[in-house]
Structure 1
Amino acid sequence: MTARIASSSSRPLGADGVHSRTRALAFGPEERFVHDLGYRISARRTSSGW
């Protein structure tokens, strides 16, 4: 199945979330755009609130 999207409107395409079916139809498989950037984040709450 191939999706073709043509529009003469300047309105943005609406896609509801990162894993949206609309986004997949417009841009192709998610695997083409998902890349691990190597960032890691850790957080911990202490007694002082920070």
Structure 2
Amino acid sequence: MLEPDPSSLINVTLKGPPPFSMPGFRTVLNDQDVADVVTYLRSAWHKVGSV
């Protein structure tokens, strides 16, 4: 969430974080849903901009 490039957060949202057993949401969320989630998370952590 703190990276200037949102691509790693998008990958974690889709695939889940590598060292944990949290599932990804690739099969559940469409592109707009992923953009909405990542934009919300970045906004909550005070990163400006959307994806």
TM class by shorter-chain length?
A: under 0.3
Q: Which has the larger radius of gyration?
A: 1
TM-score (norm 1): 0.21
